[in-house]
Amino acid sequence: MNKPTGVARERVKEGIWRRKNAKGAWVYEIVFRNTAGKQIRQTVGTRLRDAEAALGEARAKTRKGEHIAPVDRNLTFAIAAEKWWTERAQSLAPKTQAVYRYGLDVHLLPYFGAMRLSDVNVRRVSAFVAAMKTAEYRREVDQRVKERKTPDLAITTGYSVQTMKSVLIPLSRAYDFAKRHDMTTAENPVRALMDDERPGYKARKIKKPKLNREQLDAVTAAAASPHREAIATAAALGTRKGETLGLRWGDIDFERRTVRIERQANAKGELVQTKTQTSERVIEAPDFLMSMFAAMKLKTEHAADDDLIFCTKTGRPIGHGNILARGLYPALERAGLPQMSFHSLRHTHASLWIKDGGDIVSLSQRLGHASVQVTISTYVSEIAEANDDRVRREHVERMYEGTKMAAMLAASDGDSPPETATDAEAEVVKIRGVA
């Protein structure tokens, strides 16, 4: 077999070749013929043993008469992405669909759509990320989307780290889908990015804004009903904005003094499922919050189990923008505090829980996180702040409090001097052959 042209490859053994990828690591390819006699070339990975296993599997399938289709090297990213979208989009939450569709229509398809899927490599993706950081690229997108005749010079910065990350997700998902369905044999270019090529690399982590007890009191006092009660609920339970606005009277158990979270009100005013399955939970509520709910229920015209607690006069959910523009933002301003998001009330709840010595497992369950590790990584600075040297010292003292060891050693402290060995006490033993 002649050495393939194009990318510099070298033969390792029969049916296995290798080449350098963008990171300089060796990537192995297998070459074989399918049942139709067509030569197939597939990229396997970075380990020779994986290539050997893949080649053996491919040859076994061919001997059994299973047809392995060759990769369409002219398949464009646009076609592959739309196939992924058609098959996978319906399983996504509506908000996630909107984010991914924005990434495809506004950024990915205009930039990569006409390229062959095999040409969407790590270098082009790296260049794309670098472009998104520039004001020039953002002006071009703005001009195209809003059909402006001239670029908007008021745009002086590129896209945020969060926007860039959200755009790369559908690119990566589409590529994984394509590889899983034998549309390509190349490695996922998003996964192949170097750390310094990724959005937000080494970016300083912004400290999560939150309120202390005095500030929370001030904000609550400055807010008007029913926004005041919604703010208090989010701070007392650690609920997200949609979860807070999606609460119904049937979710409140006045006897057990708990609140059930099983849905959320989205930005369109629709009641939908929670963010994740673990977001469905039952939370213990403080007494003042239950008293507040009881007083609200007596006054409202919408008091049936299926009625929303925080609603308009017609029973509709309070809008996401409404709770901010008419509730939280004015209250923060009147309290003399900087503007922050509604999510900051959730951070406030977590921070107060940690500072008061609450355990992380219970906090994770209250917040509806997927795992305790998520909670720890999210609130690592709050945990470190709460566990200062004084708290650690108290914990160390409590660990051995009441033990016989502590009592014995504490009682002997200063009563008698420490004993030391003397020559007289030592027994000298002679060893044969040693002078």
120: domain CATH number is: 1.10.150
**Are both 16 and 87 inside the same structural domain?**
no
pLDDT of residue 70: 62
For the chain, how far is it from start to end, CA to CA, in angstroms?
A: 78
Residue with tokens 């301003």: 333
**Are both 121 and 264 inside the same structural domain?**
no
Q: Is residue 378 in a domain?
A: yes
Crossing angle between the packed helical segments 161-180 and 94-102, to the nearest 10 degrees: 90
Number of compact structural domains in the chain: 3
**Are both 222 and 298 inside the same structural domain?**
yes
Identify the sign of the CA torsion 368, 372, 376, 378: negative
Q: Is residue 410 in a domain?
A: no
Averages of pLDDT over runs of 10 residues in the chain (435 residues) are 57 90 80 82 81 87 76 80 87 88 95 89 93 95 92 92 94 90 81 86 68 93 93 95 95 95 91 85 93 94 94 91 94 94 94 88 93 88 75 69 72 52 51 50
In order of 121, 193, 383, the CA distances from 186 in angstroms are 8, 14, 43
**Are both 238 and 277 inside the same structural domain?**
yes
Q: What is the C-alpha separation between 324 and 80, in angstroms, rounded?
A: 40
Contact 118/184 with Cβ under 8 angstroms?
A: yes
Domain boundary among 63, 85, 107: 63
**Are both 151 and 90 inside the same structural domain?**
yes
Q: Is residue 427 in a domain?
A: no
Contact 19/10 with Cβ under 8 angstroms?
A: yes
- List the domain range (segments joined by +) for residue 300: 213-385
pLDDT of residue 1: 40
**Are both 182 and 115 inside the same structural domain?**
yes
pLDDT of residue 2: 42
**Are both 234 and 145 inside the same structural domain?**
no
**Are both 37 and 177 inside the same structural domain?**
no
Q: Is residue 407 in a domain?
A: no
Burial-class residue 377 by CB neighbours within 10 Å (0-12, 13-18, 19+): exposed
Q: Is residue 394 in a domain?
A: no
**Are both 42 and 88 inside the same structural domain?**
no
Domain boundary among 170, 197, 224: 197
Task: Return the CATH number at 353.
Answer: 1.10.443.10
Q: Is residue 399 in a domain?
A: no
pLDDT of residue 218: 94
Q: Give start and end residues of each alpha helix (H) in 12-150.
A: 48-63, 77-88, 94-102, 109-112, 122-132, 135-145
Domain boundary among 344, 368, 385: 385
Element at 252 (helix H, strand E): strand 252-253
Q: Is residue 270 in a domain?
A: yes
**Are both 87 and 217 inside the same structural domain?**
no
Q: Is residue 363 in a domain?
A: yes
**Are both 224 and 353 inside the same structural domain?**
yes
**Are both 130 and 45 inside the same structural domain?**
no
